[in-house]
Amino acid sequence: MNGGQDLGGMQGFGPVAPEPNEPRFHAAWEKRVFGLAMAMGLSGRWNLDASRAAREALPPGEYLTSSYYAIWLKALERQVTAHGLATREEIASGTVSAPAAPVTRVLKGAEVEPLFDRGFPSDRPLDVPARFAVGERVRARIINPPGHTRLPRYVRGRTGTVESVHGSFVFPDSNACLAGEAPQWLYTVRFSGAELWGEAAEPGHAVSVNAFESYLEPLA
């Protein structure tokens, strides 16, 4: 989706502004949202890609004017209601008025450390060979999917060089809409600054993105 999240190359935001003491959380509610989103992400009703898609689905004006954890909160509220886990009235009032819906898993306190220490790898075996090789010139496809994608707008239609082939990974565009993991080969593709931004680009600069195989096409 060409939403408010796809920020690469936008202008007019002003300087980067590090905070003096850089608190991890700015208010008590932010850490509760962090914990709730992480816990519900393991409920089995959705996945990390779906959560990113829910955040990106906020209208651009709202996305760009909401704080980071406010975006997480709004997306989580939408996911909870869209999946029938609670009604709008319930989350507005804080009072339960409808029966609970089934979830696949409830993360227990004692599970957090071992589970998060192990992590959640997203590489998946694939029995077809990679289409592209290191050093090959490729073009990022021009796509504008209405759903989730991880191909940023600023590289679409641009030509780059395959820097590495990483193996096969869960394809977010499919996983986000709960249509299956549909693993694909994943590459790092390097683009020159001039290719992305034109002749006035800063000299000696290159940008690498991680691109799934279906995002790329060979140069004719």
C-beta closer to other proteins: residue 135 or 220: 135
176 binds other proteins (CB under 8 A): no
Min dist CB 107 to other proteins, Å, is: 4
Pick out residues in 146-175 that bind other proteins (CB under 8 A). 150-152, 154, 166, 169-170, 172
One of 108, 125, 127, 146 touching other proteins (CB under 8 A):
108
C-beta closer to other proteins: residue 162 or 207: 207
Contact 146, 104 (CB under 8 A): no
Which residues are bridge partners to 188 per DSSP? 164, 210
Q: Is 157 exposed, middle or buried (0-12, 13-18, 19+ CB in 10 A)?
A: exposed
121 binds other proteins (CB under 8 A): yes
Residues touching other proteins, count (CB under 8 A): 95
How far is CA 65 from each of CA 4, 60, 144, 171, 212, rounded to the nearest angstrom? 10, 9, 24, 29, 30
220 binds other proteins (CB under 8 A): no
Which residues are bridge partners to 187 per DSSP? 165, 211
What is the rounded CA–CA span in Å between residue 98 and residue 89? 10
What is the rounded CA–CA span in Å between residue 213 and residue 165? 10
Binding flags for other proteins, 51-90, as an x/- string (CB under 8 A): -x--x--------x---x-x--x--xx--x----xx---x
Pick out residues in 183-212 that bind other proteins (CB under 8 A). 186, 188, 196-197, 201-212
